[in-house]
A = this chain, B = another copy of it.
C-alpha cells in the first residue's frame, strides 16, 4: 500500500448565495469530476462548511503529487468544474481559492 499523504486547506464561500451554489454543485458534481479525482490518486476527500468557512481534507496515495495535480489541472472537465465553483468562493490569500493548513496533530 502506498504511503498516505494528508492535505488540508481552508477557503470561504462568497456570501450566502455562494454557499448555496457551492453546496448544490458539490451535491452533484459534473460527470467526470470525481472520476478524475480518483484517477489522480486522491481518496477520502471531504469538504466541510461552517459560517462562511470551507475546509477541505483529502489523502494522496500516488507516487508523484505534483504530476497528478498537473494532470488534474489539464483535464477539460475539471477546468469547467473549477470555472463553475471558484466564483462561489472568496479566498483568504492571493494564491488561489484554497490556502494550505499546517498539521498540528495526527493519530492513525
**Are A37 and B102 in contact, CB atoms less than 8 angstroms apart?**
no
Encoded as 1 (CB less than 8 Å from any B CB) or 0, chain A from 28 to 59 comes to 01000010011000111111111101110100
The residues of B that contact A57 with a CB separation of less than 8 Å are: 8, 46, 55, 57
Q: How many residues of A contact B (CB 8 A)?
A: 36
Residue numbers in B under 8 Å from A26 (CB-CB): 104-105
Interface status of A3 (Cβ within 8 A of chain B): no
The answer to whether the Cβ of A107 comes within 8 Å of any Cβ in the partner chain is yes
Copies in the complex: 2
A38 contact set on B, CB distance < 8 A: 107
Contact of A10 among B47, B53, B104, B108 (CB under 8 A): B53
**If A57-B57, A92-B51 touch, does A105 touch B8 (CB 8 Å cutoff)?**
no
Contact assessment for B101 and A48 in the assembled complex, using a CB-CB cutoff below 8 Å: yes
- What is the 8 Å Cβ interface bit string for chain A, positions 14-38, against chain B (1 contact, 0 not)? 0000000011001101000010011
- The contact string, 1 if C-beta is below 8 Å from chain B, for chain A 75-96, is 0000000000000000010000
